[in-house]
């Protein structure tokens, strides 16, 4: 079945440093979504990328979708303590009913 | 901002007991889902529900699980005979169309003892 893998599993940064998490799918994706889960919280939808090579920005967050639509990345510039949490990528399971396959997530810790 | 509401927030149950987890999705959403997350692990798909029936289910969603939308607002997950390995956070999610991002509820932490 489809697999979605993320690296790194953990990332510890000093406040102000940059952070990147990478997501790879075993199959070509029609789109990819990113979610953030704060400690003890629930996943919150950040963004969806659809087009090959697409780049989208949300303030300090930059999301990319690979040309082959099998990989994606999330880059955070100048991290802040509010960025702490787990970042998940998720790809559709190939049906029209919208099942998502989540990656394992990258746990980001930001030291002040 | 519309929310997906889940109750209870925490449920402790004896092994072998039945539990019902409740969700109120966003009112105009059409697609409903249950996911679970074992502590420290990834979010795993259980079941999707559309047009008043199950549209897809995972291998985890075996005969001990069932879902219902008993009225126009509630969406429930029933686990008939709980096992220790059912201990997890259960998230309900909904979306308006099949291509949107999910809105997740705040989850129910199920502890089976």
Q: Tens digit of pLDDT for each residue in A59-72?
A: 999 999 999 999 99
Which of A42, A45, A95 would best serve as a mutation to test chain B binding (most B beta carbons within 10 A)? A42
Judge residue A43's burial from the number of C-beta atoms within 10 Å of its C-beta, 0-12 exposed, 13-18 middle, 19 or more buried: buried
Work out the minimum CA distance from A70 to partner chain B, whole angstroms.
Answer: 18
- Residue B93 burial (C-beta neighbours within 10 Å; 0-12, 13-18, 19+): buried
Measured between CB atoms, which of B42, B50, B106 is closest to A102?
B42
* Interchain CB distance below 8 Å, A98 and B42: no
Nearest-CB residue to B55 (from A43, A45, A97) = A97
Residue range A1-11, pLDDT digits in tens:
789 999 999 99
d(CA B15, CA B79): 11
Question: How do residues A31-54 score in pLDDT, each as one tens digit?
Answer: 999 999 999 999 999 999 999 999
Distance CA B69, CA B72 (A): 7
What tokens does A15 get? 């406040």
- Three-state DSSP class for A108? strand
User: How confident is the model over B9-67, as pLDDT tens digits?
Assistant: 999 999 999 999 999 999 889 899 999 999 989 999 999 999 889 999 999 999 999 99
């Amino acid at each position: 079945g489809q697999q979605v893998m993320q690296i790194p599993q953990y990332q510890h940064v000093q406040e102000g440093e940059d952070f990147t998490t990478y997501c790879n799918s075993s199959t070509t994706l029609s789109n990819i979504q990113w979610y953030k889960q704060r400690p003890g919280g629930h996943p919150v939808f950040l963004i969806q990328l659809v087009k090959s090579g697409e780049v989208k920005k949300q303030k300090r967050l930059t999301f990319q979708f690979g040309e082959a639509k099998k990989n994606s990345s999330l880059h955070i510039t100048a991290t802040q303590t509010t960025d702490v949490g787990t970042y998940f990528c998720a790809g559709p399971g190939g049906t029209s009913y919208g099942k998502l396959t989540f990656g394992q997530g990258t746990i980001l810790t930001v030291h002040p | 901002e519309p929310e997906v509401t889940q109750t209870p927030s925490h449920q402790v149950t004896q092994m072998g007991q039945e539990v019902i987890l409740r969700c109120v999705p966003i009112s105009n959403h059409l697609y409903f889902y249950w996911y679970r997350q074992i502590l420290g692990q990834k979010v795993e798909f259980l079941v999707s529900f559309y047009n008043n029936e199950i549209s897809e289910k995972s291998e985890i969603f075996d005969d001990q699980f069932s879902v219902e939308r008993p009225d126009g607002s509630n969406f429930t997950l029933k686990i008939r005979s709980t096992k220790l390995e059912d201990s997890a956070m259960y998230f309900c999610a909904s979306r308006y169309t099949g291509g949107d991002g999910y809105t997740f509820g705040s989850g129910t932490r199920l502890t089976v003892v």
